[in-house]
Amino acid sequence: MFFYLFIDTVKNICNKTLTFKFKRKRLLLSEKNKSSKAIGYARATHNEYEYLEEQIKFLKEEGCSLVFSEFISLDEEIKPQLNKAINCLSEGDELVVTKLDRAFSNRNECIRVINKLVNQDVQLRTLSGFFTNKYSPNTSSLVFNILFELNNLDNDCLKERKKENVLKRRLNGNNLGGRPKISPLKESLVIRLRDEGYSYRSIRAQTGIALSTIRRVILDGEGK
């Protein structure tokens, strides 16, 4: 699925590149009056205020006349502000993001949007170096650039998902890893059973707590 989608998009870009060679050297009067614009899009997870502000700053410095931004999860199927940014684009314009993972959650989604933009004669560009320049004479370089950045997209999305999961677990008060936690009531029960002479294995059988946790609770209790 991804392979065929990618090939169709590359063919589309290549066709746009080839047709450019036959464009007139002089612009029509109506074309001269038309000015292209750069529209920016920034996205951050939950309450990453500084990261979102940083993206907006870079996009404005890059020449974006308008920047759409939002706090939204990477895997949300609909990103309202991204859709608004795309709808504001017209022929000759460009959509600018700091990195591909700000706008897309996977390769297929990225390729679909690129295909849509190219069909509208709109360019996609990132501040990290990715671009879909339909006027590029070096088609092989363009294809390599796309493949390289799509690989980076996968890695960036994986990091983003891990970060979101950690944040969700922290907000929900769940354990983030390391030594397993038990309630104070169970800790008291472990210590009481040990004081009564029960073995570690017997305590595990009665409480269901792992031996390593039982040892830790008892050692911590002895150190107090």
Question: pLDDT digits over 183-218, tens only?
Answer: 888 888 888 888 888 888 888 888 888 888 888 888
95 in any annotated domain: yes
Distance CA 109, CA 2 (A): 10
Listed residue (78, 66, 75, 68) closest to 43, CA to CA: 68
Asked whether residue 136 falls in the same domain as residue 43, the answer is yes
Asked whether residue 69 falls in the same domain as residue 160, the answer is yes
Q: What is the 3-state secondary structure (H, E, C) of 73-120?
A: CCCCCCCHHHHHHHHCCCCCCEEEECCHHHCCCCHHHHHHHHHHHHHC
175 in any annotated domain: no
Asked whether residue 100 falls in the same domain as residue 199, the answer is no
36 in any annotated domain: yes
Residue recorded with tokens 């390729």: 111
Asked whether residue 159 falls in the same domain as residue 201, the answer is no
The model carries a pTM of: 0.56
Asked whether residue 156 falls in the same domain as residue 193, the answer is no
**Structural domain of 210:** 184-222
Q: How many independent structural domains does the chain possess?
A: 2
pLDDT tens for residues 59-68?
999 999 999 9
Asked whether residue 208 falls in the same domain as residue 146, the answer is no
Locate 139 and state its tokens.
Answer: 């088609």
- Residue 109: CA count within 13 A, CB half-sphere: 17
- Residue 25: CA count within 13 A, CB half-sphere: 0
